[in-house]
Amino acid sequence: MNFWNPRADPSLSAKDLLFDGVPVRVYQPKTPSAGPRKGFVFFHGGAGMIGSIAFYEDVCSKIAKESDSVVVSVGYRLSPEHLPPAQYKDCLAATIHLIQNAASHGVDPSKIIVGGDSSGGNYASVVAQKLVERSDLPKLRAQVLIYPYTQALDYNLPSYQQNSSMPILFRESVVYFGLKYIGKDTSLLGQVLKGSHVPDSMRLKFGKWLSPDNIPERFKGRGYKQVPLAPYEPEVYRQLSETLEDYSCLFAEDSVIQKLPETLIVSCEYDVVRDDVLLYKKRLVDHGVEVSWFHVENGFHGMINFFKGCILAFPAAVELMDSIVDFVKNL
């Protein structure tokens, strides 16, 4: 990313519009097309509190240009001014608007993709899950999940231990930002890190999907030691209960998971949420979803924004962007 001066690509048209009241920027190749194009609805990262359409200008432009697709970058409302579920509602509303008005934007309604990075990847996963229940709408063609958050129960998985102090997202930062995002007291951080917010019923119900046994052995080195969740504290759970299940895509019912569209899912070795990704990938594969997995061996959280720039640019970030473009092109 060019941090100081992201420039509009002259080969694309970019229009700022409202989709059902939600601000979006629509990127469309200027070259004529033989028919309707694919549509990619993109949700930016930033823990639901920062980030913007402008910050992801280069990312969305590259996808639109090189995959010959119409990309819709969604400027959803941010917390803490707008607490969740405002972000999910905006992302879902913008997606449904594109599906219902695809022809107006030169998009094939049967070839619409949702995707995003980090928290945006979480939003994309939840939108995809919500839409499998909508028999009145065309099915999504695919989802692109770039190092998404998928659960908020266990912060002692191997990747959380191994990468606890790895820039740009520390283990403690995940919980701190999560608490700020939902408008809760950050003094709960220590208890959440230990797992005191998880009642026994949840441990029993979701343990099979959270188990480190579901993570390949090659990811369990670098000093990992299995740590049991701390004793349950009902008051901590009471403050967080409304958010634990609703927005943890890992814990969706089997009947929802098995209906999800073809998926590209991206993990990074030096990322605290790496194992969130691996666990969700396993659930998708186990339920017959067609999954393409791209693991960046020397990758880190947030790296998508470093694929170009005048000072900081990483070859692995270029490879990541190319994998997204190739996936979309080949759908």
Residues labelled catalytic:
118, 271, 301
List all residues 6 or more positions away from 279 whose beta carbon is below 8 Å from its beta carbon: 150, 151, 157, 209, 210, 214, 215, 250
Sheet strands (E) in 60-102: 70-74
Measured between alpha carbons, how far is 36 from 111 in angstroms, rounded to an integer?
9
Measured between alpha carbons, how far is 250 from 152 in angstroms, rounded to an integer?
10
* R_g of the chain computed on alpha carbons: 19
In sequence order, what are the beta bridge partners of 26? 15, 72
H/E element holding 89? helix 86-100
Measured between alpha carbons, how far is 269 from 222 in angstroms, rounded to an integer?
11
H/E element holding 47? none
Backbone angles phi, psi at 180, to 5 degrees: -60, -40
H/E element holding 48? none
